[in-house]
Amino acid sequence: MKRIIPIIILAVIPGIWCRAQQAVTLKQCYEMAANANALAGEQKTYADISRLKDANLVKGWLPTVDANANFIYNSDVVDFAAATSALPAMASVFHPMPQDQYKLTLDINQVIYDGGAIKSARQMEQAELKVNEKQTETDLYKLKAQINAYYFNILLLNRQKELLSNYLDLLNKQISTVESGVKNGVLQRTDTDVLKSEKIKLEQQLAENELRRKALFKILSGMTGSEISESTTLVLPAPMEQFTPELSRPELQLFDLRRDQLSAGLKMVESKRMPKAFGFATLGYGNPPGQNFFNDAFDTYYIIGAGIKWNIFDWNKSRNEKQAISLQQQIIENRKTDLSDNLKRQLESKLSEINSLKELVNTDSELIEMRKRITLSAEAQYENGTITATAYLNELNAEKSAVINSELHKISLVLAGIEYQNIGGKEIE
């Protein structure tokens, strides 16, 4: 019994999980599409690249160690014997300076003060990381418009399928009634043909609807990287109630980050003109050792020292670089302003569309009620033989169109609200 219970649990859990997965929201589709996209891993990759670059920049404070070896042959050297020829006693003391030199050295250099160059470079790297991450976010944000198109088209097709199926059931009942009337000699067979031809049209519309639904579900599954079957319920988001014109699009934030990146570049340019202090040491083995040219033998030696380097005049290179950066900042600001104005115009246009759809939705219910009354009246007239089956179908189709259009307006209103949020860069619930 103890072994059976776990088996039962394992058998039941997948069923529960599948039922839990039968409803999918638009926000979940956004998230799944972002995770499934090829760009999803870029942000982590950029972070890894930045971490490696920053680690190398920090190592700029560590001493550098270089090994060197060289051989030098001098055609002319100081002749001490000739220089001291006037003093015969001294001439025998000095040995001739060697013409060949051999050196094997270990050179060590240590930055003491770099004028803020390393700090500026690290800030520049951090600014570049933020730009790259935001660029990836901007590219992924474009997926929302594609998801909206497929998601809401499926919602429309689902509702259309439901309504067409209802009208098909109603038509089948009418066909049964007419066939009974034909058998009893009350109605003509042509009435049956008229109704059956309309039934064929409805069946064709349902078949076309099914093919389109399958194609859209397949595309949506591919974009989200998840299996979204035709039995999955796509949840219709709640209609938006409030619409604010504030903008928080990632493209606008990207412009701000690019401007920050250029500001970091200005600091790097300034650091180039700052004085640099450094220390150095050389451990060597050679002949002659160091500067001791009187020692004609291999020996060890060392050199230590410190220095300052300051580029006091660079022919206005730094000034030109600053001007170039300033012009780039101006271009970025102009593009940001242009994008903001364009997005605001889109928001105004979308808000006008929303208000128009609201008016349609408000009048649709009244129109449907009127069309239903007309259809009932036409049905009664048809049963009494005062109008033809074609006339009755015309009224029934008018009612069907009014109902389908009403659903189209409702779903389009929700879509327009979602698009308004996406234009402004706001997250949906």
To the nearest 10 degrees (0 to 180), the angle between helices 250-272 and 117-141 is: 160
Average pLDDT, the chain: 88
| pTM metric for this prediction | 0.82
- Rounded percentage of the chain residues whose pLDDT exceeds 90: 70
C-alpha dihedral over 130, 136, 138, 143, to 10 degrees? -160
**46-55, 79-88, 219-228, 345-354: which has the minimum mean pLDDT?**
79-88
C-alpha 303/C-alpha 299 separation (Å) is 14
Q: Which residue from 284, 314, 152 is spatially nearest to 220, judged by alpha carbons? A: 152
Q: pLDDT tens digits, residue range 351-375?
A: 999 999 999 999 999 999 999 999 9
Residue 415 makes CB contacts below 8 A (sequence gap 6+) with: 148, 152
Residue 12 makes CB contacts below 8 A (sequence gap 6+) with: none
| CB contact at 8 A, 223 and 153 | no
To the nearest 10 degrees (0 to 180), the angle between helices 117-141 and 143-183 is: 10
Q: What is the mean pLDDT of residues 280-308?
A: 89
pLDDT in the model for residue 84: 62
**Which residue ranges make up each domain of the chain?**
24-62+114-275+310-424
Return the CATH number of the domain spanning residue range 24-62+114-275+310-424. 1.20.1600.10
Q: Which residue from 199, 203, 195 is spatially nearest to 389, judged by alpha carbons? A: 195
pLDDT in the model for residue 180: 80
Residue appearing with tokens 């069309």? 371
How big is the CA angle at 221 (ends 249 and 204), to the nearest 5 degrees? 115
Token pair of 173 as six digits: 């009942």
pLDDT higher than 60, residue 347: yes
Q: pLDDT tens digits, residue range 219-240?
A: 999 999 999 999 999 999 998 8
Residue appearing with tokens 């250099």? 109
pLDDT in the model for residue 314: 87
Q: What burial class does residue 418 get, using C-beta atoms within 10 Å of its C-beta: 0-12 exposed, 13-18 middle, 19+ buried?
A: buried
Q: pLDDT tens digits, residue range 144-191?
A: 999 999 999 999 999 999 999 999 999 999 888 888 877 776 666 777
pLDDT higher than 60, residue 62: yes
pLDDT higher than 90, residue 11: no
Q: pLDDT tens digits, residue range 92-132?
A: 666 667 788 899 999 999 999 999 999 999 999 999 999 99
Q: What burial class does residue 56 get, using C-beta atoms within 10 Å of its C-beta: 0-12 exposed, 13-18 middle, 19+ buried?
A: exposed
